[in-house]
């Protein structure tokens, strides 16, 4: 909570001006002794007396006091804040000559502006309005003091009405700024914006409307650009006007007077004077990554949480861009991103105990928010911050080594470790999902990956790695993500208020929460297997979790789980391939030639399914992961050679693109394609299990084979010629069903690949062509 300063606003202390609570409203007074009867203006016979009387009154008016013939308007309530902030109106005696009245009206208008300014600097000198507005109040007070000094000089000089008018219109405080009337008008116009905005903010309903407008602007920008991804936008509105809002009003005035040299100079110099504290905050942010914003005026806010939790969520939400305090100079999304990331990188480095590195790095301070070099200076600050950040990531935290280790575990780039695990856990992984299996499988996995390397990165990663089992199978988790219903952007952008927008978002969230998972059928057999629930968890250490955030880690895990199931199926199919190719039950010279022919067909069907697994496995490893990673690897290599050319946020986007495009190229980003692929996987697994279950059938359809193994296997059943015919007929029909179903699903998959490959992923077309060529699929 910001400190509240309390001091008196006594005008006798002219050398100081600091924050204080407003202590008195009324300061206007009459300069007329009501006990003395005032001669009517029409009764004054001498022209000189009339002029002297008017000059005396107008000097009082310029000091915001009543005169004899120029008085406050009737019904004026000097205790009404809004009235005083708007300025005090005067009415001129009806008998004043038209010539005099024209000059008096002009001066009365000027006095109204002066009274408004005088009341303004008293009213807004509070800590809740911040330092920018305080400096504006200080400037106005000093300005009006000069004005009062001029009035004292005029009183002593006994000037005429014409001379008074000329001094007001032609005697500048500074030759470069224009007349007092012009300068006061500029200040008055600026304060009008501030007063009106502040009045609007005091109404809660208005602040809700303003927040809604901020949210809608953010949504529109997000739809048109992805520049501000991973940057939190704060659309709330302060009850009090301050900081960037005030500077934006002044910047608007500067733009309005671009063709007027003196007005522009006056307003720009004023901007410079009142923006010094804001500029200090900006320089501290760009140089040190620290926000010293006592009055919450800067356009980047910081979560004041001193419990340092070094997870990705904490740092995503630690800083936010406040829409309402955003300077007009920084409206560009690219500009906002650079300023935001410049400070955030440095803040992270400070937490990594690299504050000395930050402090000792040269920095060119920004001296003006309206400088023509502002953009290039911020660009330099961003490059400095990025270079420091990247240097620490590449060298101190061994980023390339970390990513290669991540790929080793999640993308199975060194498959020997995982193959060892599959060899010892294959049987457990094929069983129905059971909590009792978890400890043994976890133990076998960790033993298979037991770290014996001297690589420190590998050692750290292996210590942070753990095995977990998901409640849902891999296909259900994929479909839950893919099926997530995106809200209709047209409906959202056409929302009329915050209430209707909230209803739309809640309706969309409810729709997603009620989403129906994939239906369980025979062609979802893989869902029941323990392998479909197997996963690994890695707590990404700080600050590396700024690159691999939770959403990217989830994508890594989906690729891992999918690859695990594929390798599991390949390992199972190797077993059934050895079974039908080499086991004596299958290589026996059957008396019935139809059985031998059936075995050849079975081997052919098995070979087709095995070929599909090999083609898809090659596609996943070579065409997708290795091909897509080559671009990431090239950027990493370039960064090691010259980290000045390595942009962290661009690399993060590249890594994000690698993961999302890999999931798409693996056929996991479309509901129909993913469903069809997993139906083929389940069909292949079921066929494998069927093949391994046929030994008894083979014995019972050939009497010689049964006799050969009866004694060795201690078999009690006997051969039946009638039973053989029925059994063989069932085997023929089942094999035909598997073969037809596989061909049907393969054609269906190729149809999806052709369609989505044309509109989404060229890698899908590459797989489509391989499958069509290998299996001679007709379109």
pLDDT tier, 311 (very low <50, low <70, confident <90, very high otherwise) = confident
Q: What is the pLDDT of residue 209?
A: 59
pLDDT score for 716: 64
**Residue 768 reports pLDDT greater than 90:** yes
Q: Using an 8 Å Cβ cutoff, are 186 and 140 in contact?
A: no
Task: Decide which of 617 and 455 is more confident.
Answer: 617
- The predicted pLDDT at position 26 comes to 41
CA dist 311 and 298 (Å) reads 25
pLDDT of residue 51: 84
Q: Rounded distance, CA 652 to CA 148, Å?
A: 61
Confirm if 608 and 775 have CB atoms less than 8 A apart.
yes
The residue with greater pLDDT, 310 or 260, is 260
pLDDT at 609 > cutoff 90: yes
- Predicted pLDDT of residue 508: 46
Residue 740 token pair: 């037809």
- pLDDT 10s digits, 287-302: 999 998 888 899 999 8
- Nearest by Cα to 62 from 34, 90, 38: 90
242 vs 369, residue with greater confidence = 369
Span of 117-131, 271-285, 452-466 with lowest mean pLDDT: 452-466
In this prediction, residues 753-775 reach a mean pLDDT of 91
SS (H, E, C) 743-778: HHHHHHHHHHHHHHHHHCCHHHHHHHHHHHHHHCCC
Q: Is the peptide bond before 543 cis (omega within 30 degrees of 0)?
A: yes
- The pLDDT tens digits of the residues spanning 467-485 come to 999 999 988 888 887 764 4
Query: Does residue 27 contact residue 122 with C-beta atoms inside 8 Å?
Result: yes
Q: What is the pLDDT of residues 86-112, one digit of tens each?
A: 888 888 888 888 878 888 888 888 889
Contact (Cβ atoms closer than 8 angstroms) between residue 478 and residue 668? yes
Structure tokens at 143: 């300005």
Mean pLDDT in the chain? 82
With cut-offs at 50, 70 and 90, classify the pLDDT of residue 612.
very high
Q: Which CATH class is domain 402-775?
A: mainly alpha
Q: Which of 348, 360, 357, 207 is nearest to 290 (CA)?
A: 348
Please report where in the chains the tokens 């960790």 appear, as a residue.
Answer: 446
| Calpha distance 250→601 (Å, rounded) | 85
What are the residue ranges of CATH 1.20.120.1900 in the chain? 402-775
Return d(Cα 643, Cα 637) in angstroms, integer: 10
Lowest-confidence region among 33-47, 172-186, 445-459: 33-47
Query: ∠138-144-147 over CA atoms, to 5°?
Result: 150
Q: For the segment 516-549, what is each residue's pLDDT rounded down to a tens digit?
A: 444 444 556 778 889 999 999 998 888 998 999 8
Query: 588: Cβ–Cβ under 8 A, 6 or more apart, which residues?
Result: 698, 702, 704, 705
Q: List pLDDT tens digits, range 198-233.
A: 888 876 555 565 555 555 565 555 545 455 667 888
Give 492's pLDDT tier (boundaries 50, 70, 90).
very low
Q: Which residue has the tokens 């393969």?
A: 746
Contact between 476 and 517 (Cβ < 8 Å): yes
Separation CA 736–CA 110 (nearest Å): 100
pLDDT value for 246:
94
Does the pLDDT at position 451 exceed 90?
A: no
Q: Which of 143, 140, 135, 141 is nearest to 173 (CA)?
A: 143
Angle at 256 between CA 254 and CA 262, to 5 degrees: 60
Task: Write down the pLDDT at residue 2.
Answer: 37
- State the pairing for strand pair 65-66/29-30: parallel
Structure tokens at 204: 């809660």
Instruction: List the one residue out of 184, 226, 195 whose CA is nearest residue 129.
Output: 195
CB count within 10 Å of CB 536 equals: 19
Best-predicted range by mean pLDDT (305-314, 501-510, 634-643): 634-643
Give the end-to-end CA distance of the chain in Å, rounded to a whole number: 70
**Token pair for 177:** 């700024």
501 has a pLDDT exceeding 70 = no
Question: Are the beta carbons of 141 and 18 closer than 8 angstroms?
Answer: no
In this prediction, residue 105 carries a pLDDT of 87
Separation between Cα atoms, residue 575 and residue 688, nearest integer Å: 9
Q: What is the DSSP string of 32-61?
A: --TTSPPPPGGG---HHHHHHHHHHHHHHH
CA–CA dist 532, 208 (Å, integer): 48
Res 168 pLDDT > 80: no
Evaluate if residue 651 carries a pLDDT over 90. Answer: yes
* Structure token digits, residue 436: 């009792």
Highest mean pLDDT among 189-198, 310-319, 516-525, 578-587: 189-198
- Residue 610 CA to residue 320 CA, distance in Å, equals 52
Q: How many residues does the chain have?
A: 779
Q: Which two tokens stand for residue 722?
A: 């009638």
Q: Which residues contact 355 (CB under 8 A, 6 or more apart)?
A: 288, 349
Residue 61 backbone dihedrals phi, psi, to 5 degrees: -60, -40
Q: Determine what percent of the chain is predicted with pLDDT higher than 90.
A: 39
Paired with 756 in beta bridges are none
- 143 within 8 A of 52, measured Cβ to Cβ: no
Whether the Cβ atoms of residue 121 and residue 141 lie closer than 8 Å to each other: yes
Maximum pairwise Cα distance, the chain: 149
Q: And the tokens for 629?
A: 């990673």
| pLDDT of res. 738 | 92
Q: What percent of the chain has pLDDT over 70?
A: 82
Please, are residues 133 and 124 in contact by the beta-carbon 8 Å criterion? yes
User: How many other C-beta atoms can be found within 10 angstroms of the C-beta atom of residue 533?
Assistant: 23
> Which element (helix H / strand E) includes 496?
none
Q: 15 falls in which pLDDT band (50, 70, 90)?
A: very low
- pLDDT value, residue 89: 87
Angle between helices 593-618 and 550-582 (to 10 degrees): 160
Contact 179, 150 (CB under 8 A): no
**Mapped to the 3 state alphabet, what secondary structure does 269-336 carry?**
HHHHHHCHHHHHHHHHHHHHCCCCCCCCCCCEEECCCCCCCCCHHHHHHHEEEEHHHCCHHHCCHHHH
Q: What is the pTM of this model?
A: 0.81
DSSP secondary structure string for all residues of 650-687:
HHHHHHHHHHHHHHHHTT-SSHHHHHHHHHHHHHHHHH
């Amino acid at each position: 909570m910001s400190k509240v300063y309390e001091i008196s606003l006594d005008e006798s202390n002219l050398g100081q001006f600091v924050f204080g609570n407003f202590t008195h409203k009324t300061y206007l007074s009459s300069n007329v002794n009501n006990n003395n009867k005032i001669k009517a203006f029409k009764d004054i016979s001498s022209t000189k007396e009339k002029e002297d009387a008017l000059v005396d009154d107008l000097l009082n008016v310029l000091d915001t006091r009543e005169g004899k013939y120029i008085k406050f308007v009737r019904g004026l309530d000097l205790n009404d804040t809004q009235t005083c902030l708007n300025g005090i109106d005067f009415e001129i005696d009806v008998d004043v000559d038209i010539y005099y009245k024209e000059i008096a009206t002009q001066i009365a208008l000027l006095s109204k502006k002066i009274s408004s300014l005088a009341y303004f600097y008293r009213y807004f000198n509070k800590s809740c309005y911040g330092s920018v507005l305080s400096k504006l109040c200080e400037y106005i007070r000093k300005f009006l003091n000069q004005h009062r000094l001029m009035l004292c000089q005029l009183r002593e000089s006994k000037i005429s009405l014409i001379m008074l008018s000329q001094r007001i219109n032609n005697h500048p405080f500074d030759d470069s700024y224009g007349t007092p009337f012009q300068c006061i008008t500029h200040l008055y116009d600026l304060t009008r914006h501030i007063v009106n905005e502040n009045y609007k903010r005091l109404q809660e309903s208005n602040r809700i409307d303003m927040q809604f407008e901020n949210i809608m602007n953010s949504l529109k920008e997000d739809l048109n650009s992805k520049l501000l991804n991973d940057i939190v936008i704060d659309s709330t509105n302060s009850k009090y006007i301050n900081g960037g809002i005030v500077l934006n009003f002044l910047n608007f005035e500067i733009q309005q007077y671009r063709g007027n040299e003196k007005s522009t100079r006056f307003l720009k110099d004023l901007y410079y004077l009142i923006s010094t504290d804001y500029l200090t905050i900006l320089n501290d942010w760009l140089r040190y990554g620290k926000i010293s914003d006592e009055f919450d005026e800067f356009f980047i806010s910081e979560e004041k949480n001193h419990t340092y939790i070094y997870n990705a969520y904490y740092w995503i939400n630690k800083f936010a861009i406040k829409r309402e305090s955003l300077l007009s100079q920084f409206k560009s999304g690219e500009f906002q991103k650079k300023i935001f990331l410049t400070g955030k990188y440095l803040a992270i480095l400070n937490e990594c105990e690299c504050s000395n590195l930050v402090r000792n790095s040269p920095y060119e301070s920004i001296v003006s928010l309206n400088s023509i070099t502002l953009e290039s200076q911020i660009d330099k600050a961003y490059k400095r911050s990025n270079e420091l950040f990247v240097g620490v990531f590449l060298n101190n935290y061994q980023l390339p080594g970390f990513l290669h280790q991540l790929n080793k575990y999640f993308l199975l780039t060194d498959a020997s470790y995982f193959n060892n695990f599959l060899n010892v856990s294959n049987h457990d992984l094929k069983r129905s999902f059971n909590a009792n299996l978890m400890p043994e499988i976890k133990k076998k996995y960790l033993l298979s990956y037991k770290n014996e390397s001297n690589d420190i990165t590998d050692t750290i990663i292996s210590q942070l790695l753990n095995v977990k089992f998901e409640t849902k199978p891999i296909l259900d988790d994929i479909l839950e993500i893919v099926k997530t219903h995106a809200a209709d952007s047209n409906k959202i952008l056409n929302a009329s208020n915050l209430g209707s927008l909230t209803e739309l978002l809640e309706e969309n969230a409810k729709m997603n929460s009620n989403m129906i998972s994939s239906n369980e059928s025979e062609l979802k057999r893989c869902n029941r297997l323990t392998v479909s629930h197997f996963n690994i968890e890695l707590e990404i250490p700080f600050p590396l979790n700024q690159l691999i955030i939770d959403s990217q880690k989830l994508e890594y895990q989906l690729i891992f789980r999918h690859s695990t199931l594929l390798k599991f199926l390949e390992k199972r199919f190797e077993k059934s391939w050895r079974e039908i190719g080499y086991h004596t039950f299958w290589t026996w010279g059957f008396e019935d030639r139809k059985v031998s022919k059936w075995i050849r067909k079975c081997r052919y069907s098995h070979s087709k399914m095995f070929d599909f697994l090999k083609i898809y496995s090659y596609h996943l490893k070579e065409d997708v992961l290795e091909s897509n990673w080559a671009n990431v690897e090239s950027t990493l290599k370039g960064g090691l050679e010259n980290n000045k050319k390595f942009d962290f946020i661009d690399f993060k986007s590249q890594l994000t693109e690698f993961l999302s495009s890999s999931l798409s190229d693996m056929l996991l980003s479309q509901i129909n394609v993913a469903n069809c692929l997993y139906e083929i996987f389940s069909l292949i697994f079921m066929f494998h299990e069927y093949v391994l279950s046929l030994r008894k059938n083979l014995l019972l359809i050939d009497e010689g084979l049964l006799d050969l193994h009866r004694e060795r296997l201690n078999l009690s059943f006997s051969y039946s010629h009638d039973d053989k015919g029925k059994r063989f007929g069932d085997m023929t029909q089942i094999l035909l069903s598997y073969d037809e179903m596989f061909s049907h699903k393969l054609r269906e998959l190729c149809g999806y690949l052709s369609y989505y490959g044309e509109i989404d992923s060229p890698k899908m077309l590459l797989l489509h062509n391989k499958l069509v060529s290998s299996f001679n699929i007709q379109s």
